[in-house]
């Protein structure tokens, strides 16, 4: 049978309608709508289902009705059906593998079941989103009334092989740690020289250069134009990365490519490119396809942007914002310095005042102590006694303490509170 979408298959099944319902006795008889067009396993034999008579109506139980439909469906031919794999379900304890086949055009879905042994023998390693061809026979699971396709074999179709290969490569590289977050390098804050790998005359190149020039004019961009589509793209991008790695003082590399189909972006999931990105001595930022596109190079890159313009914003800062931030920092620094100077000036003024007052206080304290000492000295001084009218008489041998030590004719020196004079002893009295 020729290739058809699920919706086409569903429409074809709907034409195989019940054309005759003959109530002969208590039998429900189903016939194909057009027996003359039957092919392959198609049979025109009637499927007889017993009914129960209720007055003037014949009623079928759910199980008998489902059994009749199931037996009738089993007479339909085997067919090839195309769709995308979704909801693949399998467990070791299950005897069958279940999946849902989806029509990408209108979202029509069809359940598919296949014995686990047959499925494992195919070794397809299917993943969600793969497009496949299923060869099988329609059937009805009578217990639940579920319509599904009993698969006899499965084959990849179209992009399915690519998707499966990419999934296997993704798992392999992930096990090697090439996508690990701790392997990714930090992007430079102020890159001076930026490498750009892009296509010739590509809009991606214009977007990156425009954004970098507008945001951070001091940066210089080294552009390497190369193939970004087709079988030569992957090795060409790898070679471009190698060329940029030899550029001295390069800070970061941007790999940019605009949107495209799945096939257009396949080179950016090439294993050689992924390994070249991880081996690059400088950080690499990728901007390949649209937001929903995630080629393997995005997983290996140190930074990933949804568009080339976003990649430019990721690798360079906004100079205007930097200058505003610098101005705020300078104002804050000046304010801090002024506050520090004012605080230290106040401290110096306090110290100067203390220094100016300290000597005066010290002198005053010392003067008071001296005056106290002088007062005590004056109180104990002989001069104080002399001031009360007493005198000190001396001879050549010392102070005269008794008149018995003198004789008439001796010369003495008399010291008064104020002044002194010499005298001669004319008479002594005891």
Residue 217 belongs to a domain:
yes
Q: For 25-170, where are the E strands, in sequence order?
A: 27-30, 47-50, 52-54, 57-59, 79-89, 96-102, 109-115, 131-141, 146-156
CA distance 411 to 401: 15
- Residue 176, pLDDT above cutoff 90: yes
Which letter does DSSP use for residue 351 in this model?
H
- Residue 312, pLDDT above cutoff 50: yes
Q: Contact at 8 Å (CB) between 151 and 130?
A: no
What is the layout of strands, in order, in the sheet containing 22-24? 22-24, 27-30, 47-50
State mean pLDDT over 99-111.
89
Q: What are phi and psi of 176, to 5 degrees?
A: -75, -10
Same domain, 153 and 28: yes
Pairing outcome for strands 146-156 and 109-115? parallel
Residue 1 belongs to a domain:
no
Give the pLDDT of residue 55. 83
pLDDT-wise least confident of 67-76, 208-217, 241-250, 342-351: 67-76
Parent domain of 413:
385-424
Same domain, 137 and 237: no
Give the pLDDT of residue 160. 60
Identify the three-state secondary structure at position 191.
Answer: coil
Give the pLDDT of residue 122. 87
Same domain, 286 and 349: no
- Residue 283, pLDDT above cutoff 90: yes
pLDDT-wise least confident of 168-172, 176-180, 358-362: 358-362
Give the pLDDT of residue 361. 85
Q: What is the pLDDT of residues 23-53, one digit of tens each?
A: 222 233 333 334 333 333 333 345 566 778 8
Percent of the chain with pLDDT over 70: 87
CA-based max dimension of the chain: 193
Helices (H), 138-281: 160-175, 203-215, 233-245, 262-265, 271-279
CA distance 231 to 267: 7
Q: Which residue has the higher pLDDT, 292 or 273?
A: 273
CA dihedral (126, 130, 135, 136) in degrees, to 10, reads 70
- Residue 7, pLDDT above cutoff 60: no
Percent of the chain with pLDDT over 90: 40
Same domain, 240 and 356: no
Which band of pLDDT confidence, cut at 50, 70 and 90, is reported for residue 158?
A: low
pTM for the predicted model, two decimal places: 0.49
Q: Which residue has the higher pLDDT, 72 or 1?
A: 72
Candidate ranges 37-41, 131-135, 253-257, 366-370; pick with highest mean pLDDT: 253-257
Q: Which of 93, 128, 163 is the last residue of a domain?
A: 163
Spell out the residues 6+ positions from residue 110 whose beta carbon is closer than 8 angstroms to its own. 6, 9, 10, 81, 83, 100, 101, 102, 148, 149
CA distance 147 to 275: 47
Same domain, 70 and 60: yes
CA distance 228 to 265: 8
Q: For the chain, give the number of residues.
A: 430
CA distance 314 to 297: 17
Same domain, 18 and 157: yes
Residue 174 belongs to a domain:
no
Return the sign of the alpha-carbon dihedral for residues 153, 156, 158, 163. positive
How far out from the chain centre does Cα 299 lie? 13
Same domain, 266 and 297: yes
Same domain, 375 and 392: no
């Amino acid at each position: 049978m020729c290739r058809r979408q699920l919706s086409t298959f569903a429409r074809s099944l709907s034409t195989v309608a019940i054309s005759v319902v003959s109530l002969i006795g208590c039998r429900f008889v189903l016939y194909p709508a057009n027996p003359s067009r039957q092919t392959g396993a198609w049979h025109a034999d009637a499927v007889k289902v017993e009914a129960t008579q209720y007055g003037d109506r014949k009623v079928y139980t759910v199980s008998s009705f489902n059994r009749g439909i199931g037996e009738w469906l089993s007479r339909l031919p085997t067919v090839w059906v195309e769709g995308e794999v979704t909801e693949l379900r399998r467990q070791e304890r299950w005897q069958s593998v279940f999946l849902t086949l989806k029509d990408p055009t209108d979202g029509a879905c069809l359940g598919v079941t296949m014995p686990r042994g047959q499925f494992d023998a195919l070794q397809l390693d299917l993943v969600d989103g793969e497009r496949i061809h299923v060869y099988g026979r329609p059937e009805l699971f009578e217990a639940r009334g579920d319509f599904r396709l009993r698969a006899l074999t499965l084959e990849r179709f179209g992009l399915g092989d690519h998707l499966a290969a990419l999934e296997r490569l993704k798992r392999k590289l992930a096990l090697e740690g090439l996508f690990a977050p701790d392997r990714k390098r930090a992007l430079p804050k102020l890159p001076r020289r930026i490498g750009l790998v892009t296509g010739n005359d590509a809009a991606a190149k214009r977007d990156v250069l425009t954004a970098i020039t507008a945001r951070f004019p001091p940066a210089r961009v080294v552009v390497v134009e190369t193939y970004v589509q087709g079988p030569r793209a992957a090795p060409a991008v790898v070679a471009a990365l190698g060329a940029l790695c030899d550029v001295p003082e390069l800070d970061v590399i941007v790999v940019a490519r605009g949107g495209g189909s799945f096939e257009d972006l396949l080179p950016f999931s090439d294993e050689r490119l992924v390994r070249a990105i991880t081996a690059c001595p400088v950080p690499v930022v990728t901007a390949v396809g649209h937001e929903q596109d995630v080629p393997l190079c995005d997983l290996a890159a140190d930074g990933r942007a949804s568009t080339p313009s976003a990649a430019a914003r990721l690798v360079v800062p906004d100079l205007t914002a930097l200058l505003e931030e610098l101005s705020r920092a300078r104002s804050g620094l000046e304010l801090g310095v002024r506050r520090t100077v004012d605080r230290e000036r106040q401290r110096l003024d306090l110290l100067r005042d203390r220094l100016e007052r300290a000597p005066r206080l010290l002198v005053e304290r010392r003067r008071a102590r001296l005056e106290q000492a002088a007062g005590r000295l004056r109180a104990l001084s002989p001069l104080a006694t002399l001031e009360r009218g007493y005198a000190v008489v001396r001879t050549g041998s010392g102070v005269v303490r008794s008149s018995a030590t003198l004789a008439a004719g001796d010369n003495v020196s008399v010291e008064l509170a104020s002044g002194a004079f010499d005298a001669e002893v004319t008479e002594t009295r005891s």
